[in-house]
A = this chain, B = another copy of it.
């Protein structure tokens, strides 16, 4: 059985031996190198750009500025088309591209940047969401230049508040009445920092522009959306925009939608047909995208017997200078603030706010860690107030399978108690003696991935019985090629090594909405399975023809088709069908809303529990995580090793914002946009006892009952650790990351308060 096996990654050897080629490895004849001149100011009018000296430097091929994009629609954006590919009249964050140089080599390009003379007229900087929302604050965007997906619900500096990029409200019941009727109310405010997604490969693209159209190699997770956006901007049919995605060195949302692609294509349009490469450094990519910071105010009323009555929550997210995916992140935060607990009344307000900082986009579980940090810490506060054990309190209030989390949405499709108990049990829940600086914490994360079910796939059976799978899922390191190939091997009764899957080329690869939102195993998995089954039906028909029998008499086994005691290899079946050692059979799979999945969203709830056992150094404030377990309800693990690896990877990434990471700004100037000052987790940071457990009830809508996974591990670690700190010390921390200084200060403040 291919499905459920711990097959090694099909691209593992190529990767560890360096044979796998990434976008930056691509060399083309006549390639020129691009470098970007970035704004040093957070907010300014661009009065003039003098490129004369730069353009005259020997070896410079072309210099791109706002003057070169007057004949196209320069604006892009997946939610709102509010951003130009290079600055027009204004710059709005430090790092915004103002000009691009293409030169024979990188050194010349860098020298040319120094010769470009830009005059700015500085404008007031809106450093924080408070600055931006203050009455009378200047507007960062007067209008949007184009309509995006979210255009109709965008509020751009309305009478209500200035600089609102997106506002979303959810109500259920009557929260005010519910709070009034509650025995007790707790209100807390939590802070979550700006986070950089940090993929090992920074953003890299190579573009060529000719009469044949655009050819773009790019480290993108969303090649088909890149295609349509470029087609829109440059006025080309989709069929003339070729987007090629080689191996990608990590994404985590940083390569979703459109990043450097519009800029590099515009540059390629100016180089007279010569291809141009932009390979960003990590510091440049840290000035390209980030995760939203958030302030979450949460107020819950409850009865003395432990029943939650009502909640009001307000989330304010810093979306930075341009919308990017901000509106969708805001929208997605809603369900996380409601939470997976029985709750009659609820009101949630989410606002994404423009500020003069790097645009915030997608990151693993969009809007999840910010809100679940708040909610799951808050749940412990309530349990404490009531004198309940936090685990017991959760088990008592968790929604049951089939109950409604959010009105109109898919009902809960998992046994949340089961995973929560597994997580708590794995850290020996409640065995640490209280208040001796050791303690356990648990958190439950339930989120709605927006896995849009639109994908198409092809599976080709060649005349030697080997198979090529063509599917537009980007292999970003998550192991998608292996998973999807396993599904093909399973349906076709073939060994995994007979299946080949390579990267996307939109001229050859059918449409896939995107890689992200935990949709590849589920949505693309079902699509690939449909294609494999379509192929299987053709294979059986051809075998029946060749063996002169009925299709019902044919059985497939390990690469052979048989009827009774007569068997043929698949190769022989194809050859017989075509009457020569050639030809091929092609299976086709389509997926669209309402087919293969239920008619409601989300397609599945993504569920992740985390439990931590920690020790706090009361002298230094340092936290040592002795034991951490992450539990994911995956429905069915197509490949358990990969599923565990992904969940552990997510937890380690969450360890970053829990203990270390925070992108810092001061008056619009980034302070630590480099990997020396910005600290991501290292191998030595991994807890001594670190494990993952999978819940497999085969109850998901994906193939073989799989659900999406890979995001859930990141959401629970911060509240689990925060709750463990509280249990260990009695001190509640509400701001991430939980640095020693911050913990120490909190401990000291608590001592002083006594």
Contact = CB atoms under 8 A, between A and B. Distances in A.
Given A210-B19, A580-B452, A508 B508 contact: yes
Nearest to A538: B590
A467 B239 contact: yes
Nearest to A212: B14
Interface in A167-218: 210-213
A456 interface: yes
A212 B19 contact: yes
Contacts of A467: 239
Interface string A571-584: 00000011111111
Contact of A583 (B29, B31, B456): B456
A466 interface: yes
A256 interface: no
Interface in A452-496: 452, 454, 456, 458, 460, 462-468, 470
A228 B584 CA distance: 13
Contact of A456 (B14, B464, B498, B584): B584
Interface stretch (A20-28, A155-163, A432-440): A20-28
A568 interface: no
Interface stretch (A391-399, A499-507, A623-631, A702-710): A499-507
Which interface residue of A240, A454, A467 has the most chain B CB atoms within 10 A?
A: A454
A465 B31 CA distance: 32
Contacts of A211: 13-14, 17, 19
Nearest to A12: B211
Contacts of A17: 211
Nearest to A28: B27
B582 A454 contact: yes
Contacts of A35: none
Interface in A1-50: 11, 13-14, 17, 19-20, 25-31
A523 to B, nearest CB: 12
A153 B213 CA distance: 50
B25 A582 contact: no
A592 interface: yes
A91 to B, nearest CB: 31
A586 interface: yes
Given A210-B19, A578-B592, A456 B507 contact: no
Interface string A683-701: 0000000000000000000
Q: How big is the A interface, by class?
A: 35 or more
Interface stretch (A317-325, A509-517, A729-737): A509-517
B508 A228 contact: no
A589 to B, nearest CB: 10
A463 B232 CA distance: 12
A238 interface: yes
A146 interface: no
Interface string A635-663: 00000000000000000000000000000
B507 A502 contact: yes
Contacts of A584: 456, 510-511
B456 A511 contact: no
Interface in A575-624: 577-586, 588, 590, 592-594
Contacts of A510: 460, 584, 586
A237 interface: yes
Interface string A389-417: 00000000000000000000000000000
Given A14-B212, A583-B456, A463 B511 contact: yes
Given A511-B583, A582-B224, A468 B239 contact: yes
A273 interface: yes
The 5 A-B pairs at the shortest CB distance, nearest first, are namely A508-B508, A237-B466, A239-B466, A239-B500, A27-B29
13 contacts: A13-B211, A26-B29, A27-B31, A238-B464, A240-B466, A452-B580, A454-B579, A458-B586, A460-B510, A470-B508, A578-B592, A579-B592, A583-B592
Interface of A: 11, 13-14, 17, 19-20, 25-31, 210-213, 224-225, 228, 231, 237-240, 242, 273, 452, 454, 456, 458, 460, 462-468, 470, 498-500, 502, 505, 507-511, 513, 577-586, 588, 590, 592-594
Given A237-B464, A239-B467, A458-B586, 14 more contacts: A26-B29, A225-B582, A228-B582, A238-B462, A238-B466, A240-B500, A242-B502, A456-B583, A505-B508, A513-B582, A578-B592, A585-B590, A586-B588, A588-B588
